[in-house]
Amino acid sequence: MGTQNLLTTQLHDWHQQANANMAEFGGYHMPLWYQSGAKDEHLAVITSAGLFDTSHMAVIEIKGSGSFKLLQKCFSKDLARCIGRDSKPLKTGRSVYGVFLQEDGSVLDDSIISCVAPDHYLVVVNSGMGRPVSQHLSPHADDSVIITDGTGQYGKIDIQGPNSARILEKVLKDPDSALTGLGYFSFRGSMLIDGEVTVQTTEGTPVLLSRTGYTGEFGFELFVRSEDTQPLWQQLLAAGREYRLTPCGLAARDSLRVGALLPLSHQDIGGWLFGNTPWDFVLPYGVDGTSFTKDFIGAEALNEGAQRSYTYGFAGFDPRKIPLGPDTVVSTDDGEQIGIVLTCATDMAIGRVGDTIFSIASPVESGKPADFKPRGLSCGFVKTQRECAVGDFLILSEGKRKIKVEIRDEV
């Protein structure tokens, strides 16, 4: 696909002026990395803060008295009991992660759903998925429901890393009211709905500020009107200069999410039966851990469990990676081929000391040596035809290239 046929975000000109290495992703012309390089961008998020253009993500708005019923039918999470240890219902100001399944139990897409008001939800899905997910929802909606694909109407910027809040304090008009007590998977601001603007920048820009992200690190996602995207980006960069706020491309976003054991839709989850994954928590299991608390699209296929596979996270023993493709296989130590590689990336912030994996962000009390310097480790996900166990060793190979990895439930 030629670049002239690709969609662009509101920051496309800025990326090109910054000499970003650009490529196609989800139908958009997006930055893979900037001149600093993917390694430095990855490390910046771990040690200080990184700034990501994520305006390619699709946004769907769902309104009406039947909205809750619709999402209960189509979304994997039970919105009546999805918040906290007490399993409270999703309420205004809270968000939840889950998946939209097809009838055959495969994943159409994953999503974060936010309740912006009673009977009013914001559904964020992946690039290019606004229309497919909207079309998936429409046949199940009653006449009270309005589904609006807002793709391209909003800008989205992610600021991730330990200094994210310090930078936002310099950008937000009333940072105390916006940030104090804002818990994980919570949000503030009402620029996407009718009503009072509760969060805005010092320049008066309305913002929906969400304590979420796709890096596994402390951070925020900011939604603004399309025309406010570039001014906010510039304002954040200026405010973050003293903290070495670093623009980051999709390569760093990928290596960070892999190190945090987060899936990439249509790669780690997709057109096969969902289940036996590190992300089974998105399914509405009851206290018995075997039955579902609600009926939803795909539940019958999951219960039948035909042609089930297993997905595992892994970490290697050095930075070497294996390319993805039809010639890449997963084998046991004795050479039995048992699966395929879904993702393989290098997390440059981690390394092994004996049997223990440390990060540059690991606290001293974790036992991390004072002179610890990470070399980086390959990590990612494999899909196998048979069950394995945490701690098992596997061989990933592509032709003569082979790397040894360990199945992990955390990295």
The predicted pLDDT at position 307 comes to: 72
Average pLDDT over residues 321-327: 91
In a domain, 60, yes or no: no
Predicted pLDDT at 193: 53
For residue range 3-57, list pLDDT tens digits in order: 778 999 999 999 999 999 999 999 999 999 999 999 999 999 999 999 999 999 9
Please report, as a single letter, which amino acid is at residue 293.
Answer: T
Per-residue pLDDT of 335-372, as tens digits, reads 999 999 999 999 999 999 999 999 999 999 999 999 99
For the stretch 380-402, pLDDT in tens is 999 999 999 999 999 999 999 99
Residues 210 and 227 in one domain: yes
Residue type, 169: E
DSSP codes, 162-189: TTHHHHHHHHBSSHHHHHTT--TTBEE-
In a domain, 334, yes or no: yes
Alpha carbon distance 253, 54 (integer Å): 10
List strands edge to edge, sheet with 187-188. 187-188, 208-210, 219-225, 154-160, 50-53, 246-248
Asked which of 208, 229, 257 is the last residue of a domain, the reply is 257
Please indicate, yes or no, whether residues 262 and 350 belong to a single structural domain of this protein.
yes
pLDDT digits (tens, 9 = 90+) for 259-294: 999 999 999 999 999 999 999 999 999 998 889 999
Percentage with pLDDT > 70 across the chain: 98
- Same domain flag for 278 and 246: no
Q: Are residue 170 and residue 229 in the same domain, yes or no?
A: yes
pLDDT of residue 305: 79
- Do 236 and 243 form a contact (C-beta atoms < 8 A)? no
Q: Who contacts 133 (Cβ-Cβ below 8 Å, separation ≥6)?
A: 58, 60, 100, 108, 109, 111, 123, 125
229 & 245 share domain: yes
29 plus 159 within the same structural domain:
yes
CATH code, 300:
2.40.30.110
Query: What percent of the chain is modeled with pLDDT above 90?
Result: 93
Of the three residues 225, 257, 289, the one that is the final residue of a domain is 257
For the stretch 160-203, pLDDT in tens is: 999 999 999 999 999 999 999 999 999 999 765 555 668 999 99
> How many Cα atoms are found within 13 Å in the side-chain-facing hemisphere of 224?
24
Closest residue by Cα to residue 409 from 313, 332, 283: 313
Q: How many domains does the chain have?
A: 2
